[in-house]
Amino acid sequence: MYYQILVPTDCSDENKHSLDVAVRIASLDGGNVCLLHVIEMIADTTFREFEDFYLKLEARAETNMNGLVCPHQDSQVKIERKIVYGDRCREILRFAEVNKTDLIVMNSHRIAVENPVQGWGTLSHKIAVLSQCPVMLVK
């Protein structure tokens, strides 16, 4: 049912659970998982202006993504790692569409029932509302 699963990550430990869930879902139907990290560009600049800075961020992201994937190395699920540059929301949605993603699994923080408006501007909320494919928010 879900063969192409996208897991957007900020490379923090909070994403471990989202990746675990995605791998379990993918293993049911022989699916694939793509771990995606988006590096935000500094507004009104070019890549060349801060190339050293961006390359350091990319190297750190690769190391952190390898750490997230390591516990699943014995899994039968193929986990691809991708790093792109741009606006996080736009790039996640674009990547999902271009790669024919069946499901996005991403981390989301808990929202207080007494103040639900607090979580409406989060990346996970934006992706959940704007995505053209199903989104599973993991807490």
pLDDT value at residue 13: 87
Q: Are 134 and 101 in contact (CB under 8 A)?
A: no
The tens digit of pLDDT for each residue in 31-90 reads 999 999 999 999 999 999 999 999 999 999 999 999 999 999 999 999 999 999 999 999
- CB count in 10 Å sphere of residue 64: 17
pLDDT at 126 over 80: yes
pLDDT at 132 over 90: yes
pLDDT at 20 over 70: yes
What fold does the segment set 4-138 form as a domain? Rossmann fold (3.40.50)
